[in-house]
């Protein structure tokens, strides 16, 4: 069903007669609590996030059928973040998203940081979800070193969330990307779970077919900084990924694998030993040593020099070079995600360059993030050539790297206009379409019209779109109410209508892209299941519809201040 048909179907459903939820009889009226105040659903404006805005409209439409008064409140990005993050008592519910990143290949970031009660006050648990049983499971999966037992724990976590529904999960987007197979051997493209072809492995593997030997990839956002201790946005990290090596990398399967460390051994949960590869060198020719690696993990934790990376080294009790090739980490507490979240995230920098800079910046008001290397030096498979803000970043293949890229250069072009992006791809001005948020049908039609030129790749994203409900405020503090709201969301229709088919239904923070961790049946187990089920859940929990408005259970007063 196409987008228009989906929307028509949705509109038609709105017109159907409303099923009674206890009716409007005098008997029901006597037994009910106060009417629920009008609820405000925050969303980004339609122009900024068309799919999410349309999804919000569809959701509001369904929730009105439950007798709720729903107002959509579009807010600019900054303002919405300000309200949701810093005014946690004030809002009712909000559209929100988690984006896919390589280190989210391990479920720990999503499981622990999003919903553990330790993060309620100022962390990412802005919905205020507080369930001691959940906390225990989230902590247990974090310290469980046995993969099978950890998988079981992560599945239990997902079921607890399914029962409590602190978020109404909506969809996991499906990334649509394409590349020019006249320029690159089609079979040389590498897909990464949850990310698609916009990944490190693809950039070193794409094999040119002829004279055009540059990978030219688009980005809708500019690269703001190229600094191993600072990342200001996703495109920044695509560049740092290639210029600096890490001890480990998140592999195409989403699991960590040795990289600059040829061997990673964990004799016990608190100790990890990494043995460096032979013959590694920085782009200036100097060898990469164990001392460089030790420095790379110590620097972010020194003072306030790297706010972005400091959280990732806080669990490291000590890091020492036990011999010229071996680095030993001692952790403060066991961390099953350490390999992905830390070893595959922190960049290996040259101590000779950065130690004096670190010493100097400790005596200055600015921190390490402000240090701009004219030509950043890493040891990664690509060397930095230049960056022109809002125009392009150019990297060249490092011929001395053990994983030397097949292409000669990697060029990221900043193209802000979606139509021009497609035009540039069709004309060969770019040869990998990696960052595309326009109409997916246009790309597919272009591929059909040019079957010898364009190869399309689709991949379910690690991230997800959801409605975050503020559990500090009634009626969202009632799990039964949240379950009912979630049940009434038609995720299939939303994926088709709002995301134009480029999404799959979601009911978990662990994406189906992460096969090892995802609970495969979770989408079908939303309590209540559908709109009728939602009405039943509300009825069972004591909510009643009187004169078209949903009322709290008997005896419950409306004391919450409406969002202004």
Partner 1 sequence: MKRFAGRIAHAAFVLWAVATLTFLLFRLMPGDPTLNFLSDSFSEEMRADLLESFGLDKPLPEQYLIYLGSLLQGDLGVSFLQKRPVLDILLAALPNTAALTITALVIAYAFGIIAGAFLAFARGTVTEGIAIPAALITRAAPEFWLGMLLLSWLSFAWGIFPSAGANVAGSEFTSEWARLTSADFLWHLILPALTLALYLQGLPLLLMRATMLEVLNDEFIVMARMKGLSRWAIVMRHAARNALLPVATAFALGLGSSFGGNVVIETVFSWPGLGRVLVSAVQGADYPLAQGAFIMIAAVLVLMNMVADLLYAWLDPRVSVGARR
Q: What are phi and psi of 46, to 5 degrees?
A: -55, -40
- Which is closer to partner 1, CB of 4 or CB of 427? 427
Peptide bond preceding 505: is omega within 30 degrees of 0, i.e. cis? no
Single residue of 184, 312, 354, 382 touching partner 1 by CB under 8 A: 312
Burial class for 273, CB neighbours closer than 10 Å (0-12, 13-18, 19+):
middle
Place of tokens 């088919």: 501
- Which is closer to partner 1, CB of 267 or CB of 365? 365
Ramachandran region of residue 176, left (φ > 0), alpha (ψ -120 to 50) or beta?
Answer: beta
| Ranges within 375-414 binding partner 1 (CB under 8 A) | 388-392, 394, 409, 411, 413-414
Single residue of 5, 27, 85, 359 touching partner 1 by CB under 8 A: 85
- Which is closer to partner 1, CB of 87 or CB of 532? 87
* CA–CA distance, 357 with 295 (Å, rounded to integer): 12
* CA–CA distance, 299 with 195 (Å, rounded to integer): 29
Q: Dihedral (C-alpha) 523, 528, 534, 536: value to the nearest 10 degrees? A: 170
| Ranges within 501-560 binding partner 1 (CB under 8 A) | none
Total chain residues near partner 1 (CB under 8 A): 62
Comparing CA positions, the residue from 494, 493, 484 lying closest to residue 528 is 484
- Shortest Cβ 322–partner 1 spacing (Å): 29
Helix (H) or strand (E) holding 172: strand 167-180
Single residue of 419, 445, 532, 540 touching partner 1 by CB under 8 A: 419
Single residue of 185, 320, 420, 449 touching partner 1 by CB under 8 A: 420
Comparing CA positions, the residue from 502, 353, 481 lying closest to residue 3 is 502
| Ranges within 88-147 binding partner 1 (CB under 8 A) | 98, 109-110, 113-114, 121-124
- Which is closer to partner 1, CB of 271 or CB of 388? 388
* CA–CA distance, 96 with 48 (Å, rounded to integer): 13
- The string of DSSP letters for 465-494 reads EEEEE-TTSTTTT-HHHHHHHHHT--HHHH
| Ranges within 435-454 binding partner 1 (CB under 8 A) | none
**Token pair listed for 489:** 């969301």
- Which is closer to partner 1, CB of 25 or CB of 417? 417
- Which is closer to partner 1, CB of 120 or CB of 531? 120
Residues 6+ apart with CB under 8 A from 365: none
Whether residue 166 contacts residue 116, with contact meaning beta carbons closer than 8 Å, is answered with no
Ramachandran region of residue 385, left (φ > 0), alpha (ψ -120 to 50) or beta?
Answer: alpha
- Shortest Cβ 310–partner 1 spacing (Å): 7
- Shortest Cβ 120–partner 1 spacing (Å): 12
- Which is closer to partner 1, CB of 419 or CB of 515? 419
What count of other Cβ atoms lies within 10 Å of the Cβ of residue 495? 25
- Which is closer to partner 1, CB of 418 or CB of 539? 418
Residues 6+ apart with CB under 8 A from 183: 208, 209, 210, 212, 428, 431
Single residue of 417, 449, 515, 521 touching partner 1 by CB under 8 A: 417
Residue 209 touching partner 1 (CB under 8 A): no
Single residue of 252, 269, 311, 501 touching partner 1 by CB under 8 A: 311
Q: Which stretch binds partner 1 (CB under 8 A): 156-164, 239-247, 423-431, 539-547?
A: 423-431
Q: Which stretch binds partner 1 (CB under 8 A): 368-376, 450-458, 477-485, 528-536?
A: 368-376
Q: Write the binding mask 65 to 84 for partner 1: x where contact by CB under 8 A, - elsewhere.
A: -----------xxxx-xxx-
- Which is closer to partner 1, CB of 76 or CB of 279? 76
Single residue of 415, 455, 504, 523 touching partner 1 by CB under 8 A: 415
- Shortest Cβ 88–partner 1 spacing (Å): 12
Q: How do beta strands 464-469 and 93-98 pair?
A: antiparallel
- Which is closer to partner 1, CB of 206 or CB of 498? 206
What are residue 216's DSSP bridge partners? 411
Single residue of 66, 168, 174, 225 touching partner 1 by CB under 8 A: 225
- Shortest Cβ 542–partner 1 spacing (Å): 35
- CA dist 280 → 288, 298, 506 (Å): 5, 20, 43
Whether residue 138 contacts residue 337, with contact meaning beta carbons closer than 8 Å, is answered with no
Residues that bind partner 1 (CB under 8 A): 76-79, 81-83, 85, 98, 109-110, 113-114, 121-124, 214, 216, 222, 224-225, 227, 230, 232-233, 304, 307-308, 310-312, 365-367, 369-372, 388-392, 394, 409, 411, 413-417, 419-424, 426-427, 429-430
């Amino acid at each position: 069903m196409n987008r228009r048909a989906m929307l028509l179907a949705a509109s038609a459903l709105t017109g159907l007669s409303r099923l009674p939820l206890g009716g409007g009889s005098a008997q029901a009226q006597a037994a009910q609590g106060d009417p629920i105040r009008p609820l405000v659903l925050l969303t980004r404006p339609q122009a900024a996030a068309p799919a999410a805005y349309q999804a919000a409209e569809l959701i509001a439409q369904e929730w009105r059928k439950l007798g709720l008064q729903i107002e959509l409140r579009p807010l600019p990005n900054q303002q919405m973040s300000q309200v949701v993050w810093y005014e946690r008592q004030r809002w009712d519910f909000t559209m929100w998203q988690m984006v896919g990143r390589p280190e989210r290949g391990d479920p720990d970031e999503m499981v622990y940081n999003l919903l553990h009660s330790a993060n309620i006050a100022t962390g990412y648990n802005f919905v205020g979800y507080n369930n001691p049983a959940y906390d225990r499971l989230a902590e247990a999966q974090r310290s469980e070193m046995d993969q099978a037992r950890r998988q079981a724990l992560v599945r239990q976590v997902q079921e607890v969330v399914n029962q409590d529904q602190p978020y109404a999960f909506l969809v996991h987007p499906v990334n649509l990307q394409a590349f020019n197979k006249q320029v690159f051997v089609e079979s040389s493209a590498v897909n990464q779970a949850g990310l698609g072809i916009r990944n490190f492995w693809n950039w070193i593997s794409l094999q040119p077919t002829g004279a055009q030997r540059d990978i030219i990839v688009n980005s809708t956002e500019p690269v703001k900084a190229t600094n191993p201790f600072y990342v200001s946005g996703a495109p920044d990290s695509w560049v740092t990924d290639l210029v600096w090596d890490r001890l480990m990398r998140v592999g195409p399967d989403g699991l960590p694998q040795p990289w600059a460390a040829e061997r990673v051994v964990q004799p016990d949960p608190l100790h990890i030993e990494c043995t460096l590869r032979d013959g590694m060198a920085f782009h200036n020719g100097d060898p990469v040593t164990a001392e460089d690696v030790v420095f790379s993990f110590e620097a972010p934790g020194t003072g306030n020099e790297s706010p972005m990376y400091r959280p990732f080294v806080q669990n490291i009790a000590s890091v020492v070079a036990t011999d010229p090739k071996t680095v030993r980490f001692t952790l403060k507490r066991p961390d099953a995600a350490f390999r992905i979240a830390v070893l595959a995230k922190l960049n290996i920098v040259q101590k000779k360059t950065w130690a004096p800079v670190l010493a100097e910046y400790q005596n200055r008001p600015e921190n390490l993030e402000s240090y701009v290397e004219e030509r950043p030096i890493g040891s990664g498979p690509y060397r930095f050539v230049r960056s022109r803000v809002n125009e392009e970043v150019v990297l060249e293949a490092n011929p001395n790297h053990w994983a030397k890229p097949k292409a000669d250069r990697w060029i990221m072009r900043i193209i802000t206009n979606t139509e021009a992006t497609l035009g540039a791809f069709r004309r060969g001005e770019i040869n990998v379409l990696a960052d595309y948020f326009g109409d997916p049908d246009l790309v597919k039609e272009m591929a059909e019209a040019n079957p010898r030129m364009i190869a399309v790749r689709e991949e379910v994203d690690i991230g997800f779109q959801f409605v975050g409900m503020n559990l500090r405020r009634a009626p969202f503090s009632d799990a039964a109410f949240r379950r009912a709201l979630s049940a009434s969301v038609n995720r299939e229709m939303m994926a088709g209508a709002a995301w134009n088919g480029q999404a799959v239904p979601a009911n978990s923070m662990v994406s189906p892209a992460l096969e090892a961790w995802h609970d495969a049946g979770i989408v079908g187990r939303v309590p209540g299941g559908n709109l009728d089920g939602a009405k039943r859940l509300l009825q069972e929990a004591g909510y009643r519809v009187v004169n078209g408005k949903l009322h709290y259970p008997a005896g419950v007063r409306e004391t919450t201040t409406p969002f202004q």
